[in-house]
Amino acid sequence: MKSPSDIAALNRRIDELTSLIDVTALISSTLELDELVHLVMQKAQTVMHAEASSIMLLNKISHKLECRFALGEVRDRIEDTVQLDIGQGIAGWVAEHAEPVIVSDVKSDPRFYSEVDETTGFETRSIIAAPLSVKGHVIGVAEVLNRRDGQPFTEDNLELFVTFCRQVALVIENAQYHQFRLTQERLQQELASAASIQQSFMPQRFPHSSANRFQIFGKNVPAAAVGGDLFDFIELDNEHLAFVIGDVAGKGIPAALYMARLISDLRHHSHVQNSALDTVKEINSLLVERRFKGMFVTLQYMLLNTQSGKLTIVNGGHLPPYWRHAATGEVEWFRPKGGIPLGIFESAPLAETTIKLEPGDNIIFFTDGVIEARNSVGEMYTQDRLLKLLQNAPSNPEMLVRGIIRDVLKFSLEEEQMDDITVVTLKWCG
């Protein structure tokens, strides 16, 4: 015959086991971290007959324990305000040693950090603290404070709380992973939207000559969802067409924003300034004025007289184009008068170079993503390979551009594209 105390102890263990089963059910009820941890700690605090509880998570950047969740009368004064160094206070000791601990009388324990009580007005008398561990790494510490009946916590209490903390750590891991996946999905959606918006800044149609004096085509293949390469065509009047190719230093969102603003500026100042040189000088001044974290752009600005075939080029530190002469079949690496990239110095040396295109000539502009593409053994595509391709390539600009990009991507098929690829080609028909 069991005694009343034995029966009470048995009932207590049944209640505790039921609570653990309840926690398991809670874990599958939601993936919202704050809600989950609140429910689990509320259950733990009830079972432990504690006055208050808290969870401190390790900040991977500051390497401090930060109070993320708290239950009890001083919750608002603890959450998001209390921080401890590893090794500081009882929670800091638990995080450092990855071991649970019972402290029956905190005032007699030298590890106790009394400043939290002094700040909040809460009186801590006894504590159970246990590490929250995931795959052998401590991610935080959970605590329950002060049994409501005034008695010290027991070893049975500690064993139960450690079991609870395993569940809490699982809750946090699952919820954080779920949040990470949601964040990644949202980021991918935002990048896809950004890529779509950025591509809308590129020409959606290409200028054409009703008299078939010229043909022109361009294409951009970004390395990431968004990138820093750009090209654009700006029809100024019936006799002049401006077009530009550029490569913003860097990749990703900053380069894409820089590129978008630059295209807007170019479209405006191409109509306002009196010459190609004045346009590029004004663009350089704007970029220098709003210089941001060392960003700059290599750029070539071209102005075509659509009646005569005269082409004026202003080079801002960009790769020179190839000029394929129809009369001789020669492919020349044509070097306009040089300049440094735009957005670095106000007094950047810039100059115009003017050439006269002959019927059938092609001029091919490109960014360094073409010649610096690498294959699986680390070899670069190189200018020599591009030169050989151009010697036998079709003169039709669209076919020529697509052929170059197709060859570059085929060359680097097994390797991740490391830089944006942009090609613009003009054919003067005469």
The Cα–Cα gap between 46 and 51 comes to 9
Report if residue 185 sits inside a domain.
no
Is 48 strand, coil or helix?
coil
What is the per-residue DSSP string for 365-392?
EE-HHHHT-B-TTS-B-HHHHHHHHHHT
Q: Are residues 171 and 199 in the same domain?
A: no
- Residue 290 sits in the same domain as residue 331: yes
Question: Structural domain tally of the chain?
Answer: 2
120 and 269 assigned to the same domain: no
Q: In terms of domains, do 116 and 257 share one?
A: no
Burial class (CB in 10 A: 0-12, 13-18, 19+), 110: exposed
Residues 268 and 166 in one domain: no
Residue 77: other Cβ atoms inside 10 A: 15
Q: Which of 178, 210, 226 is the last residue of a domain?
A: 178
| 258 shares its domain with 361 | yes
Q: Is residue 183 part of a domain?
A: no
Q: For position 257, which CATH number holds?
A: 3.60.40.10
Sole residue written with tokens 């001044």: 285
Distance (Å, whole) CA 95 – CA 104: 19
> Quick one: pLDDT at residue 193?
66
Give which of 360, 364, 259, 266 is closest to 322, Cα–Cα.
Answer: 364
Range of the domain at 137: 4-178
Phi/psi of residue 173, nearest 5 degrees: -60, -50
Q: Maximum CA pair distance of the chain?
A: 114
Residues of the chain with pLDDT under 50: 1, 7, 9-11, 14, 16-17, 20-21
Same domain membership, residue 124 and residue 16: yes
What is the reported pLDDT for 10? Answer: 47
* Residue count (the chain): 430
Looking at the structure, tell me whether residues 174 and 199 fall in a common domain: no
Q: Both tokens of residue 6?
A: 């034995």
Residues 58 and 157 in one domain: yes
In a domain, 321, yes or no: yes
Check whether residue 217 and residue 87 sit in a common domain. Answer: no
Please tell me whether residues 286 and 142 are part of one structural domain.
no
Of 150, 178, 206, the domain-final residue = 178
Give pLDDT, residue 26: 55
* 217-250 per-position pLDDT tens digit: 999 988 765 667 899 999 999 899 999 999 988 7
DSSP class per residue in 255-316: HHHHHHHHHHHHHHHHHHSSSHHHHHHHHHHHHHHT--TT--EEEEEEEEETTT-EEEEEEE
* Residue 111 located in a structural domain: yes
Q: Which of 178, 206, 222 is the last residue of a domain?
A: 178
Report the predicted TM-score, pTM, of the whole model to 2 decimal places. 0.64
Evaluate whether residue 186 is within a structural domain: no
Helical packing angle, 155-201 and 33-47, nearest 10°? 170
Any idea what the CATH number is for the domain that residue 11 is in?
Answer: 3.30.450.40
Residue 188 lies in a domain: no
User: Are residue 245 and residue 129 in the same domain, yes or no?
Assistant: no
Residue 357 belongs to a domain = yes
pLDDT in tens, 265-305: 999 999 999 899 999 999 999 999 888 777 899 999 999 99
57: left (phi over 0), alpha (psi -120 to 50) or beta: beta
